[in-house]
Amino acid sequence: RPRGFRLLGGDKSVHQALGGGKAADVLLWKDKKISAAVIGGATVLWVLFEVVDYHFLTLISHVLIGVLAILFLWSKATIFIKKSPPNIPEVKISEDLAVNVALALRTDINQALHLLREISLGHDLMKFLGVIVALWILSEIGSLCDFLTLFYVAVLMLHTVPILYHKYQDKVDHFAGKAHVELSRQYSVLDAKVLSKIPRGPAKDKKQN
Q: 99-142 pLDDT, tens per residue?
A: 888 887 888 889 888 888 877 777 777 778 788 888 888 888 77
Q: Which residues, including other chains, have CB under 8 Å from residue 18's CB and lie 6 or more apart?
A: 24, 27, 28, 162
**How many percent of the chain have pLDDT more than 90?**
4
Predicted TM-score of the model (pTM) = 0.58
Kindly tell me if the per-residue pLDDT of 81 is higher than 90. no
pLDDT digits over 173-184, tens only? Answer: 888 888 888 888
**Which residue in 24, 45, 44, 46 sits closest to 35, CA to CA?**
24
Mean of all residue pLDDT scores within the chain: 80
| Residue boundaries of the structural domains of the chain | 15-88+124-195
How large is the average pLDDT for residues 9-16?
Answer: 72
